[in-house]
Structure 1
């Protein structure tokens, strides 16, 4: 447990640092949105290409990751439908609960896997991200169309956004690079390596800068259900599915870590654009990010 805590303290320390710097308006009002764009479009894709391109993964690893991710999402969707049958929330509320319980913060995923599991772990996590991000985007859009009164939502723009997602492009490029054993010329490696090193700390600080702690006032039952489902039920369910599928070792550690992470910051944007409960979504994102400092070490200590 002490090893886990020592590895995770820098992750959440950087998130808190980003929150404090943003609160103190340092280095300036316009810095953090630009830093997030730089991280999203340049630093993280560079890191994914470099880490995955250097990885030596067995071909079977890709299929195992895809099968387990799909099983995880299917099981969690069933659980969330059951929750809606029990509580019967309005569509806008349920769509935010759904996002809060099933999505994950990819920045924290890649940073935590890199610190805890090394380069092979971050490579497996990158594959999981490449599978999970497009699947979750389509799943959440469909859910909005069904429950949030947003009939007529078109999937074509969503699919286009998924296809041009820098994290997916970086992951797929890295998989191809690794599969064909292309390797990196020293000049290219010399460029990608420092960009890769910069991605994780800056990405985590932008997560902190995006926290809205005021949204936590008056935490409600939907907040509690989404948070308990995401931070506790999801990792437990994932561990059970991995056991049933005979998956263990490093891949098991990766998917348990992935399922234990707080929800994605981008869920707020989707809730605001498509008729979800945006204030509730902001509270879920901020609350889960803070609570994850406690629940992630507990879940990993229990299930690893």
Structure 2
């Protein structure tokens, strides 16, 4: 039990220590709001793109391309989305809240927390499977997110323009270029690969610090029941259902923890930005991000401890 506890602590504490550094950066005003926006944009457009390229270029496709894992994760995501969509439409009558709530339930912060979570448990040499899943899950998140918010602000959903925008996502571009170089056998000189590796190593820590510095609490008076529902769904209900199914389907080790990083992590920061831009309830979306991020330090620890205690990884 003690060793299981240590593994769970080692998986979660480093992530939230980095986020705490970001909270201190904000507290002591070392970066202002405009600077945070610029740094966040740089991390997203440059660092994440390089990270995706580097990790996929250095991977062994024979061991990291897991079709069963891809199919399970995609199907589970669609099932969660459909159930959330139907349930929230039935319960919540306000269209702006509907879009924000559905996103909060199905869309996690997999990109920011997935790789460090897997890396903390298994080591950085085992994160290739998780990186590969980012290239699959992120486009699905973007397409379903836009479809949801467009539906509830009454606009027409057009798949082709959205799909083109997804392909322009820096992470997807990095993944595609990395896969092309790998499959085509195009060598990258060590003098170039080394700095790319250094940027890759800095990406997750910097992104987590920026996430911590970006937290802003809003009023919860007008949407407390909706917020509580989203927190419980995102951190408890969805993980319980998906992880139970994953265990019965035989997923273990890195594959299982990758599913933890997809379905047990807090609401995606991108859901708040999209809610702001697409006439959804941005205050509710922002509170979902902040509160699930704060509480996930407990729930992720609990899920990791439970799975480790059951000898599932």
Establish whether TM, by shorter chain, passes 0.5: yes
Aligned-residue offset at 1:89: 3.3
Partner in structure 2 of residue 51 of structure 1: 55
1:185 aligned residue (186, 189, 198)? 189
Partner in structure 1 of residue 11 of structure 2: 7
Provide closer, same or farther for how the CA distance between residues 242 and 29 of structure 1 changes in structure 2, counting only shifts above 3 A: closer
Aligned-residue offset at 1:67: 0.3
Asked if the contact 2:218/2:286 (under 8 Å) is kept, the reply is: no
Distance 1:255 1:38 in 2: 28
Aligned-residue offset at 1:152: 2.2
Provide closer, same or farther for how the CA distance between residues 14 and 224 of structure 1 changes in structure 2, counting only shifts above 3 A: same
Is 1:128 the equivalent of 2:133? yes
Distance 1:234 1:247 in 2: 17
Partner in structure 2 of residue 249 of structure 1: 253
Partner in structure 1 of residue 295 of structure 2: 291
Asked if the contact 1:231/1:292 (under 8 Å) is kept, the reply is: yes
Query: Matches of residues 1-304 of structure 1 in structure 2 within 5 Å?
Result: 1-58=5-62, 61-84=65-88, 87-105=91-109, 106-146=111-151, 148-180=152-184, 182=186, 184-216=188-220, 220-303=224-307, 304=312
Secondary structure of the 1:266 match is helix
Unaligned runs of 5+ in 2: none
Aligned-residue offset at 1:233: 1.8
Distance 2:92 2:222 in 1: 20
Asked if the contact 1:271/1:277 (under 8 Å) is kept, the reply is: yes
Distance 1:81 1:70 in 2: 16
Unaligned runs of 5+ in 1: none
TM-score normalised by the chain length of structure 2:
0.88
Distance 1:188 1:262 in 2: 35
**Structure 1 residues 1-36: Cα deviation after superposition (integer angstroms, max 9, x where no partner):** 222212321211111211221232204554211211
When the two structures are aligned, how many residues end up with a matched partner? 303
Asked if the contact 1:92/1:276 (under 8 Å) is kept, the reply is: yes
Secondary structure of the 2:127 match is helix
Distance 2:144 2:83 in 1: 14
Provide closer, same or farther for how the CA distance between residues 295 and 82 of structure 1 changes in structure 2, counting only shifts above 3 A: same
**Structure 1 residues 148-181: Cα deviation after superposition (integer angstroms, max 9, x where no partner):** 1322244444223211111112223333444455
Distance 2:176 2:280 in 1: 31
Asked if the contact 2:48/2:203 (under 8 Å) is kept, the reply is: yes
Distance 2:196 2:37 in 1: 23
Distance 2:294 2:252 in 1: 29
Aligned-residue offset at 1:56: 1.9
TM-score normalised by the chain length of structure 1:
0.90
Asked if the contact 2:76/2:242 (under 8 Å) is kept, the reply is: yes
Please say which of residues 128-137 and 28-37 is displaced more in the overlay.
28-37
